[in-house]
Amino acid sequence: MCRTHVRDCIVNELSSTDSDSEYCKYWVEWFTYAEGNEYFCDVDEEYILDRFNLTNLSNDVPNYLQALEMITDRLPEKALSNEEREQVERSARYLYGLIHARYIITTQGLKKMLDKFKRGDFGRCPRVYCHQNPLLPVGITDVPSQKGVKLYCCRCEDIYNP
């Protein structure tokens, strides 16, 4: 999926005031390219569709099945009212975060995160003596939504707020 299509989807969604507006077909790409989600990578669809990888997530996520359908682009656009869509969207964001946390410790996930790290997608260390060393996002806790993401520099071994 090219970035221009995803950008167009975001622009269409933000500029539209009509409730029946076109909404982006590719949810994962829309989500990962949306502002504030720079630390996420694309989770392979095969990984998301493998039920083993989703074990016990249904217990933690409201509207789990609809959220999963939204993430995998299988939720019909007109299936929900605007209010229901907002609730499912929140659940889909939360569910994707949980799936992402599991995915990035797999071989494929680690490779994607390493590529983003090498490109400096997560930012660069502000210290002069670190010579623009790339930063790595870290979680201070394993509990979702408890504390925000921090950025770690492996050269000076310090943690920064984004």
Domains of the chain in start order, with CATH, are: 3-112 (1.10.1820.10), 122-160 (2.20.25.20)
21 pLDDT above the threshold of 60: no
pLDDT tier at 17, thresholds 50, 70, 90: very low
Which pTM does this prediction carry? Answer: 0.82
Average pLDDT, the chain: 87
| Burial class (CB within 10 angstroms; exposed 0-12, middle 13-18, buried 19+) of 108 | middle
Residue 61 CA to residue 92 CA, distance in Å, equals 8
Question: Residue 24: its pLDDT value, please?
Answer: 54
Report residue 13's pLDDT band, with 50, 70 and 90 as the boundaries: very low
Which of the residue ranges 19-28, 43-52, 65-74, 135-144 would you say has the lowest mean pLDDT? 19-28
pLDDT at 9 (0 to 100):
52
Three-class secondary structure of residue 17 per DSSP: coil
Alpha-carbon gap, residue 68 to 95, rounded angstroms: 8
Q: What is the pLDDT of residue 141?
A: 85
| Residue whose entry in the numeric block shows the structure tokens 């394993």 | 142
